[in-house]
Amino acid sequence: MRHWRLILLVIGLVGLAYLVHRFLPTQHNPLRPPDLTEPLGLATYGKLTALKYNDEMCRQKLVDAGVEFEIVAADGAEARCPLEETLHLKRSLTPYNAAPLRMTCHQMAALHIWERQVLRPQAEKIFDSPLRQIQTYGSFSCRNIAGTGTRSQHSYANAIDISGFILEDGTEIRVKDHWRERSKKGKFLGRVHKKACRLFSVTLGPDFDAAHADHFHLDMGSTETCR
Ligand SMILES: [Zn+2]
């Protein structure tokens, strides 16, 4: 009798797992492969982390999402911050003010989702205007975290600094001037910062310290911070 109960329980659980897998929207289902064009979901961060360990799949996902990039060969041992193969961003949906931006694949993937699923829709929603340009202070930079002896994630091409945005109607949104402002610009910055925390391992803004008073630092390193 006990055996039958156990068998029924196992059948029930397998059936439930099948139904969840079959009908759960893919962005919430960690067993589905990542797709950079799907909305943010419960599984998005986990899927991005998985891309960290599968460069080939990561590059294919960027191609599928329409992101254009160039592969940058690994640096020689003589480089101060030698990198494995990385990518130069050539074209995304929205132009950046600086080029080329050198990044690891999973950093570029997280950035693309942020741009596609957060920045662009929030610009339309709050300002009723498309996003024209994303302003950055750059990604790869061989240096330590300011005031420390620890290498910054920038030195691994695993981070980007974002200083602001320009909308199609000419509106400029600057982290330095509009963070925490009670305005549409302040609302936009607050929202895109909050959602960045669901994509990047580390999201730092002006509330973190004075060194970030004029930009958001977004990285895919191994620590997790949202501030
Ligand atoms: Zn930074």
Summarised one tens digit per residue, pLDDT across range 60-87 is: 999 999 999 999 999 988 889 899 999 9
Q: Give the three-state DSSP class for 53.
A: coil
**For residue 68, what are its two tokens?**
């254009």
pLDDT digits (tens, 9 = 90+) for 175-224: 999 999 999 999 999 999 999 999 999 999 999 999 999 999 999 999 99
Give start and end residues of each alpha helix (H) in the chain. Answer: 2-23, 44-51, 55-64, 105-113, 120-127, 175-178, 184-196
Give the strands of the sheet with 101-103, arranged side by side: 68-72, 86-91, 101-103
Provide mean pLDDT across the span 130-136: 98
145 CA to centre of ligand 1 in angstroms: 8
Euclidean distance between CA atoms 176 and 178, whole angstroms: 6
- Phi, psi of 90, rounded to the nearest 5 degrees: -100, -45
81-112: per-residue pLDDT in tens?
Answer: 899 999 999 999 999 998 889 999 999 999 99
CA of 157 to the centre of ligand 1 (A): 10
Where residue 1 falls among pLDDT bands split at 50, 70, 90? low
89 Cα to the center of ligand 1, angstroms? 17
**Cα 127 to ligand 1 centroid, rounded to whole Å:** 27
Spatial distance between the Cα atoms of 205 and 195, rounded to a whole number of angstroms: 13
What tokens were used for 148? 């420390």
Instruction: Yes or no: say if 111 and 65 are a contact pair by the CB < 8 Å rule.
Output: no
- Say how many Å lie between the CA of residue 11 and the centre of ligand 1: 50
For residue 175, how far is its CA from the centre of ligand 1 (angstroms)? 13
How far, in Å, CA of 90 to CA of 70, rounded? Answer: 7
For residue 60, how far is the Cα from the chain centroid? 16
User: How many whole angstroms separate alpha carbon 115 and alpha carbon 101?
Assistant: 15
Dist. CA 139 → ligand 1 center (Å): 7
Taking residues 114-127, report their average pLDDT. 98
pLDDT digits over 31-61, tens only?
888 899 999 999 999 999 899 999 999 999 9
Residue 114 Cα to ligand 1 midpoint, Å, equals 16
What value does the mean pLDDT take over residues 12-17? 89
pLDDT band per the 50, 70, 90 thresholds, residue 113: very high
Residue 18 has pLDDT above 70, yes or no: yes
* CA of 113 relative to ligand 1 center, distance in Å: 19
pLDDT band at 21 (very low <50, low <70, confident <90, very high): confident
Question: Which pLDDT score, from 0 to 100, does residue 116 have?
Answer: 98
DSSP character for 117? I
> Count of CB atoms within 10 A of residue 31's CB?
11
